[in-house]
Amino acid sequence: MDAGRLREELRRYLSRAGPAEGRSAYRELGVSQPAFSRLAGSMRDELLVVGRGRSTRYAARRSILDVGRSVPVHEVAEDGRSRCLAVLHAVLPRGYFVEARSKDVESGFHDDLPWFLDDLRPAGFLGRLVPRRHPELRLPEDIRLWPGDQCVNYLSRLGWSSVGSLVVGDLAIRLHVEYGLNPRDVVPKDRAGELYPSMADDVMACGPPGSSAGGEQPKFLAARGPERTSVLVKFSPPVHEGEIGRRLADLLVCEHVAHQVLGEHGQPSCRSTLIEAGGRVFLEIERFDRIGASGRRGIVSLQALDAAFAGRLGSWTETASVLADRSVLGQPDLDRIRWLEWFGRFIGNSDMHGANLSFFLRGARVLGLAPAYDMLPMAYAPQHGQLLDRWTPPPHPAPPDAAAWREARIGATQFWSRVAARSDLSPAFRTIARENEGRLQSLARIERLLPGGP
């Protein structure tokens, strides 16, 4: 068989089988190992060859539209400096090879985006605005349908401000540097009440370029001066437009109260500020993945860790327990997660999915649990244009949960007490809060029956 025919046979084999060992490939072609080595050497531009000796694997390269065959992945440190963490190579029939450029990440093949890049996919309220705001990307309107290549296409061109510390592509890292030198969204602290209403109107109309933050609550990103502190600003509808707007404003106030109570109970949480302006309620939340004007901290969601290491798709504690058993998380993180989940149940947080819990990351190394966020009584959020005033008693704890259940109940009782006392909440929600405070106080009798109870 001539060399041209062998090259074509190898391309077809690798396009069908994916990354393969040399022995499998030359047996498939019916040639000797030396002949295969010469063949592979003649196809250096078409093949990705990784490993050494008998562990060497061969993959056929492919190209990502508007990106090319490979793209660097940069990491921005807390001081704003960046380094090349890895290079992402596209291979056939699908997926990528991560070529490590740092000890903080491992080289390897992935069927889709590597787990440490998964949270960079556009998501939530602002993510859905990307296709509308950037039709030049020629990407599907429904971001949930984007495969890995389309995400890389977006990230390498406009994803310079995605969550965490990772930036895909040289163009995106240049945009990050340009923003650090000349930020365009700095809001003087004393003008937030003046500027936030128009920023809310803008994002509701179309959305700012390049922004991507998960979650369904309407929001926008900004930098608060003069320190240029990066903030995520959630906002309610105009509260005068009806009970739906008032309820959503109540929930933002509740989220702010939850931040305070969590901090008082030794649970790191977001720092936030409430602002009423332009008929809306704004909750300004300091981003824990940003440091100063240009620094960043890496983060990864429980959802991404679950997909990569657990495959559990259970509750926070169920997934975290599997991750702790596999040494991805430590016992202190598991204990905190158990506490947070019980607190969330006690305050009616019905939206504790895997994207609402995150961990700090350096490269692809998990460092520990990040501050709590999106902790609010979502059971009372409007559904289909109707208000829901419902209380679902949390289940009785199993013995391993006894301590967390007891302490979280005390914290949640304080939460409802403070909510009931706030004058900036609607009378209807203050009534809900008083009722829930009483319900949690009545649960104290269960504590006497738990292991280690008083």
Tell me if residue 149 is catalytic: no
Q: What is the C-alpha radius of gyration for the chain, rounded to an integer number of angstroms?
A: 25
- The DSSP secondary structure of 127-156, one letter per residue, reads HTTHHHH-GGG---S-GGG--HHHHHHHHH
Q: Which residues lie below 8 Å from residue 220, measured CB to CB, with a gap of 6+?
A: 126, 199, 200, 202, 203, 207, 208, 211, 232, 233, 235
Q: What is the pTM of this model?
A: 0.91
- Could you say which of 335, 351, 389, 424 is catalytic? 351
Determine contact, residues 321/334, Cβ cutoff 8 Å.
yes
What's the order of all strands across the beta sheet hosting 57-60? Answer: 20-21, 57-60, 47-50
Q: Encode the chain (454 residues) as per-residue pLDDT tens digits.
A: 577 889 999 999 999 999 999 899 888 888 888 888 899 889 989 999 999 887 899 999 999 988 999 999 999 999 999 999 999 999 999 999 999 999 999 999 999 999 999 999 988 787 878 888 888 888 888 888 899 999 999 999 999 989 999 999 999 999 999 888 888 779 998 999 999 999 999 888 875 544 445 457 899 999 998 888 999 999 999 998 789 999 999 999 999 999 999 999 999 999 999 999 999 999 999 999 999 888 999 999 999 999 999 988 789 999 999 999 999 999 999 999 999 999 999 999 999 999 999 999 999 999 999 999 999 999 999 988 888 777 787 888 888 888 899 999 999 999 999 999 999 999 999 999 999 999 999 998 887 777 765 5
Cβ neighbors of 142 (< 8 A, separation 6 or more) are none
- All structural domains of the chain, each given as residue ranges with its CATH number in brackets, are 3-60 (1.10.10.10), 61-182 (no CATH)
Question: What's the pLDDT score for residue 210?
Answer: 45
